[in-house]
Structure 1
Amino acid sequence: MKEHAIERAEVFVVGPDVERYTWADGMSGQYMANIVLRLTAASGLEGIAGAAMITPHGFDRATGETLRHILPDIIGRHPGERESLWLKLRNLGTPMVPQAHSLIDIALWDMAARHARLPLYQLLGGARDKVLSYASTPLLADNQAYIDYVGERRREGFKAVKFHCWCVPERDLPMCEAVAKHFHGQDLALMLDVEQRYDRIGAVKVARRLSELGFRWFEAPLLDTDIEGYCELRRRSTVPVIAAGNTWLDLQALAQAAKAGAWSALRVDATICGGITPLRKVMGLAEALGMDVEIQCWGYTLTQAANLHMMLAYANCTYFEQPVPYPAFEYGAQDVIRTDAQGYVHAPPGQGLGIGIDWKAIEAAAILRFEVRRP
Structure 2
Amino acid sequence: MCDRPHREHRVPVPDRGRGDGRERVQPDVRSGETTERKSFALRVHTDEGVTGEYVGGNSPAAAQINTVANYLVGRDPLRRERHWSNINRALRKYDRMGIGPVDIALWDLAGKYYDAPVHELLGTYRDRLPAYASTYGGDRNGGLDSPDAFADFAEDCLDMGYRGFKIHVWGGSDGARDVNREAETVRAVGERVGAEMDLMVDPACEPETFADALKIGRACDEYDYLWLEDPYRDAGISQHGHAKLRELVDTPLLRTEHVRGLEPHTDFVANGATDFLRADPEYDAGITGALKRAKVAEGFGLDVEFHAPGPAQRQCIAAIRNTNYYEMALVHPEAQNTQPPVYRGDYSDMFDAIDTDGTVPVPDGPGLGVEYDWDYIGTNATGSVHVYE
The two structures share one fold, judged by TM-score above 0.5: yes
Residue pairs, 1:254-333, within 5 angstroms: 254-297=265-308, 304-325=310-331, 327-333=337-343
Letter in 1 for 2:284: C
Question: Contact (CA 8 Å) 1:137, 1:163: kept in 2 or not?
Answer: yes
Q: TM-score, normalising length from structure 2?
A: 0.84
SS state at 2:382 partner: strand
CA distance, structure 2, for counterparts of residue 14 and residue 116 of structure 1: 30
User: Of residues 25, 40, 47 in structure 1, which corresponds to 2:45?
Assistant: 40
1:89 aligns with 2:92: no
Question: Once the two structures are superposed, what CA deviation does each residue of 1:280-327 show, in whole Å capped at 9, x if it has no partner?
Answer: 2211111110011111125xxxxx111121111110111111113455
- SS state at 1:331 partner: coil
TM-superposition CA deviations, 1:223-265 (whole Å, max 9, x none) = 322111111111111101112512x222222222211110111
The secondary structure found in structure 1 opposite 2:5 is strand
Distance (whole Å) between structure 2 residues aligned to residue 296 and residue 93 of structure 1 = 22
Structure 1: 4+ residue segments shifted above 6 A: 24-27
2:10 corresponding residue in structure 1: 15
Whether 1:190 and 2:199 are equivalent positions in the alignment is: yes
Counterpart CA distance in 1 for 2:286 and 2:16 is 26
Q: CA deviation at 1:103?
A: 0.8
Does the CA-based 8 Å contact 1:348-1:355 persist in structure 2? yes
Does the aligned pair in 2 maintain the 1:36–1:48 contact within 8 Å? yes
The 1:319–1:368 alpha-carbon spacing in structure 2 relative to 1, beyond 3 Å, is farther
Match of 1:175 among 177, 185, 196: 185
Q: Verify the 8 A CA contact 2:217 2:228 in the aligned structure 1.
A: yes
Equivalent position to 1:149, from 138, 153, 158:
153
Aligned to 1:344: 359
| Paired AA for residue 202 in structure 2 | D
Q: What is the CA–CA distance in structure 1 between the aligned matches of 2:84 and 2:121, rounded to whole Å?
A: 18
The total of aligned residue pairs comes to 354
Distance (Å, rounded) in 2 between the aligned partners of 1:20 and 1:9? 35
1:206 aligned residue: 216
Instruction: State whether structure 2 residue 249 is matched by structure 1 residue 237.
Output: yes
Aligned match for 1:356, one of 366, 371, 379 = 371
Query: What is the one-letter code of the residue matched to 1:115?
Result: Y
State the Cα RMSD in Å: 2.4
Identical positions, percent:
24
Unaligned runs of 5+ in 1: 1-5, 54-60, 299-303
- The separation in 1 between residues aligned to 2:67 and 2:265, in whole angstroms, is 29
Go from structure 1 to structure 2 and tell me whether the alpha carbon gap of 1:270 and 1:28 turns closer, same or farther (over 3 Å shift).
Answer: farther
C-alpha contact 2:134 2:167 (8 A) present in aligned 1: yes
Give the Cα separation in 2 of the matches to 1:93 and 1:317.
29
TM-score normalised by length of structure 1: 0.87
Contact 2:42 2:102 in 1 (8 A): yes
Q: Could you tell me whether the CA contact under 8 Å between 1:25 and 1:166 is conserved in 2?
A: no
Gaps of 5+ in 2: 18-23, 30-34, 138-143, 172-177
Asked whether the equivalents of residues 330 and 336 of structure 1 are also in contact (C-alpha less than 8 Å), the reply is no
2:179 matched to 1:163? no
